[in-house]
Chain A
């Protein structure tokens, strides 16, 4: 388990409990070691619950980026069958930051598209840390179009720090690719549901999340800019990321109040990284529920629903 900085007190208690048990195994220590260890466990569990019940926006940002959090490929593997990856934009290359393909969700054929961050140095580099280049958006456009033609619902899993700020990505029309991908989302006459499973970073996230229904995991974030980026622009000091995270209202809870998202998916106590299987299962239930809400809708109605949803956004403010 990788502990975040703010989880340090928790880590200490858990280490202590482990130490006691190790002593007991070696036959040292007092008689009632297990009782004491269990007390520590209970204390740790309580602390974990309290910590995660009141995460600040910055702490949520850290949790959303946690390396042990389940990633797109974990969800695809657990929730879908017959996943058949489809590659390439037919123009330049294949973008490994975006995984996409045909699959079945509860037996129903569909198109699944998501950002994959990778989970060790090698795979993170392979997936470019989940930062798509123009080819990723163009692959998504191609596959959304295919889904539209064959009447397949589209499920997107968003987990990206943002679009890749690279020379080639800019030369090959990053902004145009994002704009077209957002537009494609608004054009397809099939259900489009989106789950923000970790980081919903700016334009790179919007390009996949212009959906009929949008859900966010409890401790995921969705923002116009990273707290660090915002802090360095508005505070002229990247170290003010805590203030920026606060001001940006990037938590699922605030976004739900603003009606930018439809659902919050509860995470296991201590975050998705502590019980990935439970988090993945919860996401599966919500995807099913969102698709059920849209089932039976005609293509034109699905398109209208999406456009009206986004046109209406910003109709109300947060309470002071």
Chain B
């Protein structure tokens, strides 16, 4: 709760055009159209306070909320060769990369972190949809291999948060080869008896879904996340009929047996701690496992 909650909730989308709202302060919920103040939104883990829609969250912001006290160490990812195919569409690939790096402040589309969650050691991997659609190229493959190696080496479980449009076309066949490459990484985890939990977030599609993102011991998705191989538009064009309501959304997949659970982002941390501790034979989490809550912001 903060001051804005007691303020008149600004449902002003019908009154003002988007252009008049400073981009960095207000975000419009794509689902219900509510204007969300940035502090309120980030305090709520980028979940709409009005309709519970899960907006995108960067791995860095997610990890800050996930790890005890927000503390984690980044696991180093080996650098791949830049632009191996000398790819050029309407822009050069290196230029697209530079633009993405500038707008996100990140080096690439994946962040690997090591730390503790409810005093439970864990390796976490987060895919960043804001970086070229989270697309899977050599770097993402290297990140997953590095994470798996670290997990095997330390015996810590691995949690992966997926978010991607699919393979990075600018790396051509080498992006496709990340499907078997990342599968090798998953295989390493399985053989070492390391728990591998996948949290599918909106959207996870294409070659990412058809490799590491569907190979978890436990598959959890965030509510309403689009999860598919071929996207709804492609399918509609192929079969020329309207798809059912909620098709390829997390709840639909759960109903069709493709997921273990659909979990609200705010309940995810406790659930992951609980599952990880059971899978690694640790005692049930107690209050003492959790860091002291942040001092409550006092308000009227």
B180–A182 contact, CB under 8 A? yes
B-contact 0/1 string along A32-61, CB 8 Å cutoff: 000000000000000000000000000000
Tell me how far the C-beta of A271 lies from the nearest C-beta in chain B, rounded to whole angstroms: 22
Select which of A170, A171, A210, A315 is within 8 A of B180 by beta carbon: A210
- A-side interface mostly: helix
B184–A310 contact, CB under 8 A? yes
A320, B238: Cα distance in complex, Å: 38
A206, B145: Cα distance in complex, Å: 19
From 173 to 206 in chain B, residues with beta carbon under 8 angstroms from any chain A beta carbon are 173-177, 179-181, 183-184, 186-187, 206
Count residues on chain B whose CB falls below 8 Å from chain A CBs.
54
A-contact 0/1 string along B159-179, CB 8 Å cutoff: 000000001011111111101
The answer to whether A255 and B180 touch (CB under 8 A), given A167-B243, A317-B85, is no
The stretch from B5-13, B15-23, B37-45, B209-217 touching chain A is B209-217
* Chain B residues in 8 Å Cβ range of A225: 167, 169
B239–A173 contact, CB under 8 A? no
**B287 CB-CB contact with A under 8 Å:** no
* Chain B residues in 8 Å Cβ range of A172: 256
From 8 to 27 in chain A, residues with beta carbon under 8 angstroms from any chain B beta carbon are none
A98, B227: Cα distance in complex, Å: 25
A171, B215: Cα distance in complex, Å: 17
**B26 CB-CB contact with A under 8 Å:** no
The stretch from B46-54, B87-95, B109-117 touching chain A is B87-95
Q: B180, B230, B235: which has the most chain A beta carbons within 10 Å?
A: B180
* Chain A residues in 8 Å Cβ range of B260: none
Tell me how far the C-beta of A77 lies from the nearest C-beta in chain B, rounded to whole angstroms: 30
**B73 CB-CB contact with A under 8 Å:** no
How many interface contacts (CB-CB < 8 Å) are there between A and B? Answer: 170
B229–A310 contact, CB under 8 A? no
* Chain B residues in 8 Å Cβ range of A317: 81, 83-86
A314–B174 contact, CB under 8 A? yes
**Interface footprint category on A:** 35 or more
User: Which residues of B pack against A, CB within 8 Å?
Assistant: 80-81, 83-90, 138, 141, 145, 167, 169-177, 179-181, 183-184, 186-187, 206-207, 209-215, 227-230, 234-235, 238-239, 241, 243, 247-248, 256-258
The 7 closest A-B CB pairs, nearest first, are A165-B230, A317-B84, A175-B209, A234-B89, A178-B210, A224-B176, A175-B229
Q: List 28 A-B contacts (CB under 8 A).
A: A165-B230, A165-B234, A171-B256, A174-B229, A175-B210, A175-B214, A175-B227, A178-B210, A179-B179, A180-B214, A182-B179, A182-B211, A186-B184, A206-B176, A207-B210, A222-B176, A225-B169, A230-B169, A234-B89, A247-B89, A247-B172, A248-B85, A249-B85, A249-B172, A250-B172, A258-B174, A311-B145, A314-B141
